[in-house]
Amino acid sequence: MFKYLFARSEDIPEGSAAVYFGFSAITWFVIGTGLGAFNASKLAFPDFVTGLEFVSFGHMRQVHVHAVIFGWISMAFAMAMMYMTSALGNTKLWSEKLGIWNAFLWNVGLSLGLTLLWSGMTSGREYSDFPWFIDLYIATFMTIPLGINVWMTVINRKTQGIYTTNWFFASAVFMVSIVFIVGNLPEWFHLTGLTEAYLTWWFAHNVLGLWITPVAAAIAYYTIPKVTGNPLYSHRIGHLHFWSVVVFYSTPAAHHLMSAPLPEWLKSFASVEGVLILVPAVAFVSNILLTMQGKWNMFVENLEIRFTVTGCLMAIPLNMQGGFQQTRAINWYIHGTGWIVAHAHLALLGFSTFLEAAAVYLGLQTLMKRKLYSLTLGNLHFWFLLIGFTTYWVSMTIAGLIQGAGKIYEVPYIDVVMAEHPYMIARWIGGSLVFVGNCFWLYNMWMTARAGTVIPEGRMAHELAYER
């Protein structure tokens, strides 16, 4: 890939940027989940590796979070954008060279940022932990160049209308840049106190609501119709989904701080808007599942469809939790407990990851023109991810309910820690399964590039039978 950094744009094979992003994303996924599993082991067995500053839990937790959000999820998004935007515009990516540089600078910046975080150089703000110069780097060399490439590809499209997926892509790359710049105002201007706390959660809420959730959904709007051959069930419901994301998902930031002394009107407003997140959620899930009509056999037979539909199904519990857990009636019980950790993993490791994994599987096969090397490894990947995640989610939800009960009945905290111990072990086992599954995936994709059956001109990857 590095040889293309200084090649002329027309000499770079189509799809190179997407392939570069795709393999980077998988590699960060292996790293991020490996760190997650290691961190989980320390919560189960605190003396496992001890006495070294750089492998202490407090130094590694944020590295895990940022490796999966900005490494795995966001690079998988960029990968999907690099090939879906142009395919849906019936054109080429605006600039392969910009894409290659984008992926290269993304890896460089993320490696640097994670190294600094690991060493303890942090702003001390959850989800915007990077020091401000790394935030500036992310906006300048990661999100804005990606946005330019996506926007120019949409503008130079050869179709009259713009398909659903591309509305989401174009608006999300714009919104994530705004969220980055506004959400880091406390660091640019050294804002303090409640303003700082509120903006920290404004960022955390919107980076999920205006970047991860809509882009993940947009990917499913491409994958399902493309692989099943069915047209999208309803363009109108797509509209409803899009506009309700912009209106309802951008407002409830304050519901993350329901127990803090923020203005009461703001908390009530955020809570009501938070329930309305169910509107885009219902629109999305129904639209995707109805598009599957007549092709449900592919849920069993095709790996990409299986991943995507599983992700969509996980959006149902995700949004039922998300809509209601932030209301005062429920939030007082579960706020700050493992329930929230389970919910966050349902969003990122359940819903979103399964949709992106499908996009990366589909994209890499299509762009490299090679059929997936091994269905067996693909199946192992799917089941390790699903069983690992489910183990994690169930154990953390139970641990969260124990913590919640301990909290409201004012049980001595150490009794809560002791009661949670078995669930911490389960959490570690679940995380380790996810990590092992991802190692299979990286190997499988590497072998697909080297030894996958060549897909003949004019055929699509899913039309060929699996061979192993």
Nearer to other proteins, 146 or 179 (CB): 179
Exposure string for 294-324, b = 16+ CB within 10 A, e = fewer: ebeebeeebbbbbbbbbbbbbbeebbebbbb
What is the footprint of other proteins within residues 290-329 (CB under 8 A)?
A: none
Q: Is 242 exposed, middle or buried (0-12, 13-18, 19+ CB in 10 A)?
A: buried
What is the footprint of other proteins within residues 182-211 (CB under 8 A)?
A: 182, 186, 190-198, 200, 202
Query: From CA 331, how far away is CA 290, in angstroms rounded?
Result: 33
> Min. distance of Cβ 112 from other proteins in angstroms?
14
What is the footprint of other proteins within residues 86-125 (CB under 8 A)?
A: 119-125
Asked if 98 and 73 count as a contact pair (C-beta separation under 8 A), the reply is no
Give start and end residues of each alpha helix (H) in 144-302.
Answer: 144-155, 164-183, 185-188, 193-207, 213-228, 235-248, 264-275, 278-291, 297-301
Nearer to other proteins, 62 or 319 (CB): 62
Query: From CA 82, how far away is CA 416, in angstroms rounded?
Result: 47
Nearer to other proteins, 279 or 372 (CB): 279
What is the footprint of other proteins within residues 149-168 (CB under 8 A)?
A: 155, 157, 160-162
> Min. distance of Cβ 202 from other proteins in angstroms?
7
What is the footprint of other proteins within residues 438-467 (CB under 8 A)?
A: none
Nearer to other proteins, 275 or 447 (CB): 275
What is the footprint of other proteins within residues 228-287 (CB under 8 A)?
A: 243, 246-247, 250-251, 253-254, 256-257, 259-263, 266, 269-270
**Of 265, 121, 127, nearest to 207 (Cα)?**
127
Applying CB under 8 A, the site for other proteins has a residue count of: 81
Question: What number of residues does the chain have?
Answer: 468
Contacts of 40 (CB under 8 A, 6+ apart): 424, 427, 428, 431, 432
Nearer to other proteins, 201 or 307 (CB): 201
Asked if 122 and 192 count as a contact pair (C-beta separation under 8 A), the reply is no
Nearer to other proteins, 252 or 378 (CB): 252
Reading the block at residue 454, the tokens are: 């060549």
In the list 19, 25, 139, 175, the residue contacting other proteins (rule: CB under 8 A) is 175
Q: Is 334 exposed, middle or buried (0-12, 13-18, 19+ CB in 10 A)?
A: buried
SS3 15: coil
Between the CA of residue 148 and those of 9, 144, 263, what are the distances in Å?
A: 16, 6, 38
Nearer to other proteins, 211 or 373 (CB): 211
> Min. distance of Cβ 272 from other proteins in angstroms?
12
What is the footprint of other proteins within residues 377-436 (CB under 8 A)?
A: 403, 407-408, 410, 412-414, 417-418, 421, 424
> Min. distance of Cβ 363 from other proteins in angstroms?
26
> Min. distance of Cβ 107 from other proteins in angstroms?
22
> Min. distance of Cβ 413 from other proteins in angstroms?
5
What is the footprint of other proteins within residues 48-77 (CB under 8 A)?
A: 50-53, 56-59, 61-62
Please choose, out of 39-47, 211-219, 433-441, 447-455, the segment that lies near other proteins by the rule CB under 8 A: 39-47
Nearer to other proteins, 55 or 105 (CB): 55
Tell me, what DSSP letter sits at residue 260?
Answer: S
Nearer to other proteins, 193 or 456 (CB): 193
Query: From CA 414, how far away is CA 177, in angstroms rounded?
Result: 43
